[in-house]
Amino acid sequence: MTRVLFLSLFSCLVVIHQASLISRCDLAKVLHQEDLDGFEGYSLSDWVCLAFVESNFNISKVTENADGSFDYGIFQINSHYWCNDYLSHSENTCHVECRGLARAPRWGGESDD
C-alpha cells in the first residue's frame, strides 16, 4: 500500500517536473512553424542550440541577474532590455510581458493543435 502510494506520488512529481521541458524535436517543430529557420541568417539548429545552451529546453526557466533584472524562458530573454516584468526598470523593446515568455501555453505539456 505504502509502496503504491509512493510510486503514484513519484509519477506525479515526474510529470510536473517534465512539464517545464520541451523536447528538442517539439521545439524544432514550433520554430519551423514560426518561420525561424533562416531568420536573421540563423538556421533551425542554431536556434535549437541556443535554447539548449540558455535553458536546457526549460520553458519555465527564470534566472536573476546581478543587476536585478531577470532572464526568462527557453531563450532567457532579459527583462532590462526586451520585456517588462514590473520588477525593475525595463526598456521593454519588444512591448511584451516577460511572464508570457517564460511559459508559452502552446509549449506546455499538452498539445493544443
Ligand X SMILES: *[C@@H]1O[C@H](CO)[C@@H](O)[C@H](O)[C@H]1NC(C)=O
Q: Which residues of this chain interact with ligand X, rule CB under 6 A? A: 17, 20-21, 58, 60-62
**Of 14, 11, 19, 8, whose CA–CA distance to 111 is shortest?**
19
Q: How many CA atoms lie within 13 A of 113 on its CB side?
A: 7
Alpha-carbon distance 55 to 42, whole Å?
Answer: 18
Q: Between residues 47 and 73, which has the closer beta carbon with respect to ligand X?
A: 73
54 is an active site residue: yes
**Smaller CB separation from ligand X, 55 or 84:** 55
Smaller CB distance to ligand X: residue 14 or 33? 14
Residue 35 appears among annotated catalytic residues:
no
We find the least distance from the C-beta atom of residue 54 to ligand X, in angstroms, to be 12
* Catalytic entry in 37, 71, 85, 112: 71
Between helix 44-55 and helix 24-33 the angle, nearest 10°, is: 130
